Amino acid sequence: MNPAAQELIGILNGLPEDKAREVVDFARFLQQQTGDREWERIHVEQRSYPKLEQFAAAALREGAAEPLDPSKL
């Protein structure tokens, strides 16, 4: 475990449950932003991504999806 994770665990152990939950929620928010930044980097990059392009092309060939029918769940 890295030092930052150990420090965070120590901090969380000293907080009331509701405040600890807020810290966890914020950490998840930061984690999600990291993934978003990676997609943004890929989007503006001039590099080719053949597998991603094949996946997108196949999805577009399938056409529009049917609306979800709750009675079929």
Domain map (residue ranges) of the chain: 21-59
The pTM of the whole model exceeds 0.75: no
Rounded (10°) angle between helices 3-13 and 17-44: 150
pLDDT of residue 12: 94
Reported as a single tens digit per residue, the pLDDT across 27-73 is: 999 888 887 888 888 778 888 889 989 999 999 998 888 888 888 88
Q: What angle do CA 8, 18, 9 make, to 5 degrees?
A: 15
- Give pLDDT tens digits for 1-29: 899 999 999 999 999 999 999 999 999 99
Distance CA 19, CA 7 (A): 16
**Cβ neighbours of residue 23 closer than 8 Å, sequence gap 6 or more:** 8, 11, 12, 15
